[in-house]
Amino acid sequence: MQKIVFNRLKCSGCGVCIQRAPNVWNYNSTDGKADLMDAEFKKDSYFRMVWPDERKVMKEIESTCPTHAIQLFK
């Protein structure tokens, strides 16, 4: 199963990930950045597993995030 890693410090709050997968990403009105739902925090990043049915959209979000804040790993 793949893992998604989100470096929130890099997030500009553009909203692309939130629009594309609102069941996974949330808008945080406190600082205007994205939140990765159901994520754990470790070593300056948030991470969670990617379910098989989310893989395609997560890959798309990884490649379209303008600040490269999102990475997928096997």
Residues that bind ligand SF4 (CB under 6 A): 11-17, 34, 65-67, 69-70
Which one, 26 or 55, has the nearer CB to ligand SF4? Answer: 26
Task: Please state the closest distance from residue 74 (CB atom) to ligand SF4, in A.
Answer: 20
* Residue 72 β-bridge partners: 4
Task: Please state the closest distance from residue 52 (CB atom) to ligand SF4, in A.
Answer: 22
Task: Please state the closest distance from residue 24 (CB atom) to ligand SF4, in A.
Answer: 10
